[in-house]
Amino acid sequence: MKITYATMSADNEELHAAYERGLETARSWLGQDHPLFIGGDGRWTDERYEERSPIDVDIVVGRYSQGSEQDVADAVAAAQAYFPTWAATPWKERVALMRRAGDVMEKRTPELAALVAIEVGKSRLEALGDVAETVEFFRYYASQMERHDGFVIELGKLSDAEENVSVLRPYGVWGVISPFNFPMALAAGPSIAALLAGNTVVLKPSNTGAFAALKFYELMRDVGLPAGALHVVTGGDETGAALVRNRDVDGMTFTGSYEVGMGIYTRFATDRPKPVICEMGGKNPAIVTATADLDVATDGVLRAAFGYSGQKCSACSRVYVERPVYEPFLDALVEKTERITVGNPLERDVFMGPVIDEAAVRRFREAVAEVEARGGRILVGGHVLTDGEYAKGHYVEPTVATVTEDSWVWKRELFVPFVVVAAVDTLDEAIAKANDTPFGLTAGLFAGTEAEIDRFFERIEAGVTYVNRRAGATTGAWPNIQSFGGWKGSGTSGAGGGGPWYLRQYLREQSRTVVGE
């Protein structure tokens, strides 16, 4: 069966058996030390970061060499040296290599998904989706190169003696800084696009999630990607900052918080104009009108708020419900939330695993305390889980709350399983409140009339929008199905990942004129 983020269940014994075998393989990889990879060579550094699983902090996922400014400079120099060769590689050869890589990753999906689950605490469906999405990035971006014939377009003529052509060409060295929450898809996706376009890549993954990025590198090496085309420098904030300030990096893709993304956006191109693709946070609203199917609406909000413990930039964190259905909506959402299984995400029937670290637990506690301090109500959840099977991990309860809208829980991106709900009088009021945020990543509507749907699409300020989607009110974009990119403070490029305009960002136009006799 095809696994996407919209898959509601996976009642497929063959799939689960493959996942269990993959889990044994992934466990055999744990606890090892890992080098940087520069020019195809492993480079060890004295400083190491030890990553532990949020499921059980006694599990050491891996220890990663931490790249210095010099290591970053060496990786950029190696990428720069190889760029002319990679750019001159016929685009059809690059496409064939990426398709081959996608096929190999598809075969390795069970073990890679199991690693993702151990490393960052994803449930089976979420982890399988992370890897399956990466496979689709290989195939979709390759198809885009093919569809546009390598982005070479014949132009008009002023005379029969001339030939004019528009050619899209790569920039050079591309930096990719990826986050923990989609450790395979968001390390690989931008790298695949940049490489297909003919750029060389220096990838700096989050220390949390670095193993998945290293497995992506390993796979690319195994399928024959030349050593000079892709380099991986693991490290923390300083390593990322060194990549951003390196003047020989020609383009940059970052996925992460608004604060860090805006810093990169304003600092990266100081010496010359350079492309910066930043996908940042979200405070994503769902709207429920009086004409909505409440069973569909509560399923959609629940999956978007609590899938992967709310740790998606697209997670639904606020809901505006028209008054006639406000109480019934709340009652149904609370009842369904109470039935969510929280536990070890490696187990088949667990819907929600841990949050990523102690900092996330603290944000959860602060949000609960804020609601209580302002006289709000925690309708379900609100507790940190510390006993029994939860004792060694970072577990919290999925939480639904109501509180006055002057509380900061309506404004800040929390990245935990916490959603607040308020009543509104009209759809227009709901849309106005939904838009009252610096962010504009995703938004959802549940409504029963075409007029309401049209009104929502016309006025909502978000790059990814969903209507009546049981599989996720604000989450679940998939390559070639929904482009994923934000408006306002959620994105800089205006072209969503996995969409028809994304690959274009990694190329620049050259107009070529040849005049004959």
Identify the sign of the CA torsion 262, 439, 379, 391: negative
Is residue 133 annotated as part of the catalytic site, yes or no? no
Contacts of 264 (CB under 8 A, 6+ apart): 177, 244, 252, 254, 276, 278
CA 338 to CA 147: how far, in whole Å? Answer: 48
CA 346 to CA 28: how far, in whole Å? Answer: 15
Identity of the residue numbered 506: Y
CA 340 to CA 177: how far, in whole Å? Answer: 33
SS3 of 108, please? coil
Q: Residue 490: how many CB atoms within 10 A of its CB?
A: 29
Contact predicate 322/388, CB 8 Å: no
Q: Which of 6, 27, 45 is nearest to 346 (CA)?
A: 27
* Choice among 111, 313, 322, 397 that is catalytic: 313
The owner of tokens 């081959």 is 100
Contact predicate 317/283, CB 8 Å: yes
* Choice among 126, 279, 322, 452 that is catalytic: 279
Q: Which of 200, 204, 281, 210 is nearest to 245 (CA)?
A: 204
Identity of the residue numbered 414: L
Q: Residue 89: how many CB atoms within 10 A of its CB?
A: 13
Angle between helix 124-147 and 109-120 (nearest 10): 120
CA 302 to CA 298: how far, in whole Å? Answer: 6
Buried b (16+ CB within 10 A) or exposed e, 333-350: beebbeebebbbbbeeee
Is residue 278 annotated as part of the catalytic site, yes or no? no
The catalytic residues are 279, 313
